[in-house]
Structure 1
């Protein structure tokens, strides 16, 4: 298990403006309003896991990527650690799908209500099936997008996966 990441150096944005308003509302509805003060807003975008890890000052694997794929045309959310890639064949097998592809930007926004680079692990516009890779459990705390490419929040991986309604799976690409 890794130690908790240090508090990042960020702008002095208030907690109510740090998260996307829809995500802040979702946190309140889930009884997680106490997380709002922990949401961190950065002056520059953190659209990639690398950018987020650098801004936070944590290991790349402590970033929780929220990725939307299309399994036989149906959106599915995959939660993956920032240092790893998703193996589409493993996702296909896990879902019993014929074909799995990366969802297009318009499908991501329509499904989640958020733009790529800011998709949180829960609080989406529509319910989707959620697969969470076990690699997230290697840490006591992970950081995920808070609805914008500028904001992230920390949470224990088991709690995050539970709130996302995720099923634990092994869909991480392994080196050949």
Structure 2
């Protein structure tokens, strides 16, 4: 497994500190974020999943705790939209350059609007996908917001 991804390169270029945490990815897991948390012995609410969505047809990225659900209504409202929906996996892969299950909010092929759930500020470090299946990175919440060009908002269902 390579530990250099577009996400790790983008963070390194920006001078943002992070640590890598490889784990055994289970493609059969019903919720990969929860599986990653269990594999790494981390609290599920501290392991954040990266989801690609469409808000009024325009792409957006949402980073939220792996043990929760995202409110599409709240997500749309964050960006002044009327509706939000999940992006189709093939479209998410084409847009980000990452495989589903390994999507990172950092170093995506095309920059898109990004929101990180406000619960991120409750932690010293977040675990977020590092750009490939089976590899998370730990990063300070304020650094994640800066690196992703994100806004913090309540997007929990």
TM-score w.r.t. length of structure 2: 0.89
C-alpha distance in 2 between matches for 1:72 and 1:58? 35
Shift of 1:124: 0.6
Aligned to 2:43: 59
Aligned to 2:63: 79
C-alpha distance in 1 between matches for 2:140 and 2:12? 18
Q: Is residue 19–residue 39 contact of structure 1 (8 Å, CA) maintained in 2? A: no
Aligned to 1:8: none
Which whole-Å deviations, capped at 9, do the CAs of 1:77-128 have from their partners, x for residues lacking one? 1111122211001112222223211000122112211111111121110010
Which whole-Å deviations, capped at 9, do the CAs of 1:53-96 have from their partners, x for residues lacking one? 01111100011111111011111011111222110011122222
Unaligned runs of 5+ in 2: none
C-alpha distance in 1 between matches for 2:152 and 2:69? 16
Range with greater deviation from structure 2 (41-50 or 153-162): 41-50
Among 70, 92, 103, the alignment partner of 2:54 is: 70
2:64 is aligned with 1:103:
no
C-alpha distance in 2 between matches for 1:83 and 1:43? 19
Unaligned runs of 5+ in 1: 1-12
Q: Is residue 72–residue 84 contact of structure 2 (8 Å, CA) maintained in 1? A: yes
Among 32, 40, 46, the alignment partner of 2:21 is: 40
Specify which structure has the higher proportion of strand: 2
2:131 is aligned with 1:156:
no
The alignment partner of 2:64 has SS state of strand
Q: Which has the larger radius of gyration?
A: 1
Aligned to 1:18: 3
Aligned to 1:30: 14
Q: Is residue 23–residue 40 contact of structure 2 (8 Å, CA) maintained in 1? A: no
Aligned to 1:143: 127
The alignment partner of 2:11 has SS state of helix
The alignment partner of 2:104 has SS state of coil
